[in-house]
Structure 1
């Protein structure tokens, strides 16, 4: 099954629904109780504990700049690397979101699944998607932290296969399809999804096909399309009709979600969602190109793009930029040179 990248949509759904639905004023108390129960049953701490090694202390989403790693996986037996389906799944989607508490802005970075980077769990460079197969969510978080030189405070992991269930539980989503498409469905049936260009209601299978297709435009355009789909899902998840389907939605999430966010931490993000203009975010991508190393295809991230991305994320999290650190080191070196010459 060639499910390459769903990219940004999968895990964001769980996060948006858990953070938003139960926190809006005026909704019935039982909705919040349902969300609380789902959050409790989906809670799973990292082996490292609450705090990233790149933090001095634990951050609180209510008061601090915070980062959340969204991880989309497909842990079906067919996608597993052993005959019994026992090995950890690959991560089909990785997105790091940073939340700035001062101005309530959000940045979202899509990390290409084939990015060639060092994986601490095994001690060598490989595709970043393999980090989850090697050591689960703990290995994935550690690898992303090392690659981007920023703390990953929290994670949200959602099973790839739940995407269609969640969209269907919402009653579908309204979206302006940019072109006619003919695509496989989630069971790899060719031509099962036929869509005409234009504004329409998409069910789960149709939304998934539109998010995954790579035949009709560039990877860059596809990334933009996926971001737009997320924004529509976020907006439409806050409607009354979605709330009426809360039971089905939460059941889809509960069966397929794990996160180290506690319920109180989740609802601390509500101010990002209920601003006057609604949730919006700065979309970020890493530049690079495909390359073969030892006859294996990888995405080789450009060093300048990676450095610039690191600095943007660190600045958004209120951390010192790497450039500032380099300048400080260089100034110390210059001082030492001056002392040596005296």
Structure 2
């Protein structure tokens, strides 16, 4: 049976997505009679969209666009607010027990993708969190290796010696990383994020390691030295990213990437705890704490911003 690694996605994928997206958009419009400058001008004219929220799905597939029958390894609700430069990321444990439309009983939320692809995953997260989600971004883990190598590695404080071998895994596992702070290149980054043994709090420990990697990676990816490498992102973007976000929307936010505040990255994990039920381990989320977290990270800020705009218009 094919084995999936459970934690891999990094927040710098947001950078890879928007950068690859804008390059794709530029190439798409390359033969247009208008100049590049005119296209950019038209793109940003009248744009009043200040934030974007999407579900980030990680899969292990040879072709990310044909991965419908597979479960997701990672699910994250991501939001970028252009007014503050803030990035908010909520990790959803793959074993979270949830309602999946069309299924008789609650199941692990990562099953949704196997039943109905990214569209059903979006609906499952929408039902779980009570938040309107329109967009998804589905990525293959191979993008991690490619992008990490492009940006020159990511600094990580490895919490323990990581040593594990499994030649039957797909791809095979041969993990050997020493404890301590170090720069991980592409292949070692995959080893770090595929490692599953030794965490005292199991899947939650892997999520914490994943979030540490995210924080470091996005800061490195947004370094001006790496931003000039935009054209090199195009191949890995096309091969490993599938999204329903229109290229025009991606490009608009890519043009505003300078507003991202790398010191203002908010990361959290769905509150709850593991529970053994009928011989199967599930993650049972705390509904009250979840609602409070979702309100703070994804909803109430919008209301505050709207109130501020009303006050400005009245003054």
TM-score (norm 2): 0.75
The unaligned stretches of length 5 or more in structure 1 are 23-31, 40-59, 78-84, 320-342
Q: CA deviation at 1:187?
A: 4.5
Counterpart secondary structure, 2:303:
coil
CA RMSD of aligned residues (A): 3.4
Matched, 1:316 2:304: no
Give CA deviations for 1:106-154 in whole Å, capped at 9, x if unaligned. 3211001111010113353111001000001110111111110111132
- Aligned with residue 120 of structure 1, among 74, 79, 101: 101
Compared with structure 1, are the counterparts of its residues 297 and 175 closer, same or farther at alpha carbon in structure 2 (3 Å cutoff)? closer
| Partner Cα distance (2:47, 2:113) in 1 | 25
Compared with structure 1, are the counterparts of its residues 197 and 7 closer, same or farther at alpha carbon in structure 2 (3 Å cutoff)? closer
Which of 1 and 2 has higher RCO (CA within 8 Å, sep 6+)?
Answer: 2
In 1, are the aligned partners of 2:85 and 2:260 still within 8 Å (CA)?
A: no
Q: CA deviation at 1:257?
A: 0.9
Q: CA deviation at 1:74?
A: 1.7
In 2, are the aligned partners of 1:119 and 1:131 still within 8 Å (CA)?
A: yes
Q: CA deviation at 1:93?
A: 0.6
Counterpart secondary structure, 2:132:
coil
| Partner Cα distance (1:216, 1:295) in 2 | 22
In 1, are the aligned partners of 2:138 and 2:242 still within 8 Å (CA)?
A: yes
Counterpart secondary structure, 2:102:
coil
Query: Which residue is equivalent to 2:35?
Result: none
In 2, are the aligned partners of 1:99 and 1:317 still within 8 Å (CA)?
A: no
Aligned ranges 1:1-342 → 2 under 5 Å: 1-6=2-7, 8-9=9-10, 12-20=11-19, 33-34=23-24, 36-37=26-27, 62-76=48-62, 88-184=69-165, 187=170, 189=172, 192-217=174-199, 218=201, 219-239=203-223, 242=226, 246-270=230-254, 273-275=257-259, 277-278=261-262, 280-312=264-296, 313-318=298-303
Give CA deviations for 1:271-303 in whole Å, capped at 9, x if unaligned. 774248436321111222222333332111122
| Partner Cα distance (2:112, 2:261) in 1 | 37
In 1, are the aligned partners of 2:57 and 2:76 still within 8 Å (CA)?
A: yes
The unaligned stretches of length 5 or more in structure 2 are 30-45, 305-315
| Partner Cα distance (1:13, 1:197) in 2 | 23
Q: CA deviation at 1:314?
A: 2.2
| Partner Cα distance (1:86, 1:111) in 2 | 20
| Partner Cα distance (2:84, 2:260) in 1 | 13
Compared with structure 1, are the counterparts of its residues 174 and 295 closer, same or farther at alpha carbon in structure 2 (3 Å cutoff)? closer
| Partner Cα distance (1:257, 1:276) in 2 | 22
Counterpart secondary structure, 2:106:
strand
| Partner Cα distance (1:20, 1:76) in 2 | 22
In 1, are the aligned partners of 2:61 and 2:67 still within 8 Å (CA)?
A: no
